[in-house]
Structure 1
Amino acid sequence: MEKIMVLGVSAGVGKSSFARKLSEKKNIPVHHLDSYFWKAGWIESSEKEFSEKQQQLVKEDRWIIEGNYTGTYEIRSKKADTLIYLELPLAVCLYRVVKRRIANQGKTRPDMALGCPEKLDKEFLTFIISTYSARKVKMRKRMVQFIEESPHHKVVFLRNQKQINGYLEKMAEMPASLYKDNGFN
């Protein structure tokens, strides 16, 4: 477990916080994709810039890369040995996004690019709500695909805050049977 992707069902699921805590526990550098995708003033990086940066990141010996970014998923998945997926209920994700907005009013989070103060608008909330179910299906398929690509790949599927906290506390290897116990088919 040296090259880890942290994915989640939605904004607000806790990917950044989880990745940061995992980084501290495992002493592995963490990279937040939002900080590479966004430039000051909420300007998007070009596809080329964003891809090239990730291609450099995955060359490192050890890494945790946090963020979904479907368009560049394969850059990370080809080099990762572990995929950790967080899936909390939609209501929890929405609550956390609103809470995050209030807590970070006028500030830039540590997992964001400088010059991108926290914001929340109707379009972002609509995006979260309208893509949640489809993303859930897509992410579960990604877990299956990741496991099928190599017998050395590991998937950790965390479906509630108790599992997330327990994983971070114990840092224990999860047996493959747990995937089915968690409803992963």
Structure 2
Amino acid sequence: MKIMIIGSSGSGKSTFARELGKITSYPILHLDKVFHKYPSEIAREKLREATRIFIFQNENVIIDGNYGSTLDERLPFADEVIWLKTPRLKTTFRVIKRSIKSRVFGKNRPDIAEEFKEKWDKEYLEFLKFVWTFPEKEFPQIEQKIKEFNVESKVIILKNRKDKEKYLANYGRKAKN
């Protein structure tokens, strides 16, 4: 089973991937961990390469991350695409909250490269704008890719904590049988 988890930054993809990984014991590829390990000029190609290798080396996988420019590396192999459509206010709040926690405690979250050091600068403000405008700007592109690779029937949309908990509980029951 190859499971792709997509959605805006701050939607809870990485947390959800870890929770699903506990239930399934599937290996997880956190795309942020790969992308932020390299300089920007080679990061996308390294991300594509790592994704290909991970998919071909593992029968069962969970891939956590959006990176629209690399969806074509993942969607053709997806058995399930979990799209976390969390409201923009919540995603933006979560991104700011994790940035503050990272600054206060001085360590990154487990799903991001150790080399990554977030700065509160113009680039960070642009990132927050990206998160805020994600539904308008990125959803149509994701929908187009989903149609292009004919995986509409494999998409599961989860909008809130209750949806996520229900999905995980159902998956847990399936895993036990």
Normalising by structure 2, we get a TM-score of 0.83
* Structural mapping, 1:46-65, within 5 Å: 46=42, 47-59=44-56, 60-65=58-63
Secondary structure of 2:9's aligned partner: coil
Task: Please say if 1:87 is aligned against 2:76.
Answer: no
- Is contact 1:37-1:45 (8 Å) kept? no
How far the C-alpha of 1:143 sits from its partner, in A, is: 4.3
* Structure-2 change in CA distance of 1:44 and 1:79 (3 Å): same
Structure 2 CA distance, aligned partners of 1:103 and 1:96? 10
Structure 1 48/94 Cα, relative in aligned 2: closer, same or farther at 3 Å? closer
In the alignment, structure 2 segments of 5+ residues that lack a partner are: none
2:72 aligns with: 74
Seq. identity, %: 34
Shift, 1:111, TM fit: 0.5
Pairwise CA RMSD of aligned residues? 2.3
Q: How many Å separate the matches in 1 of 2:118 and 2:166?
A: 29
Higher relative contact order (CA 8 A, sep 6+): 2
Note closer, same or farther for the CA distance 1:135–1:166 as it changes in structure 2 (3 Å cut): same
Deviation at 1:26, TM superposition (A): 1.1
Q: Which runs of 5+ in 1 are unaligned?
A: 174-185
TM-score by length of 1: 0.79
Amino acid at match of 2:162: K
* Distance (Å, rounded) in 2 between the aligned partners of 1:48 and 1:138: 20
Query: SS where residue 110 of structure 1 aligns?
Result: coil
Give the secondary structure class of the aligned counterpart of 1:58. Answer: helix
Which residue identity does 1:114 align to in structure 2? E
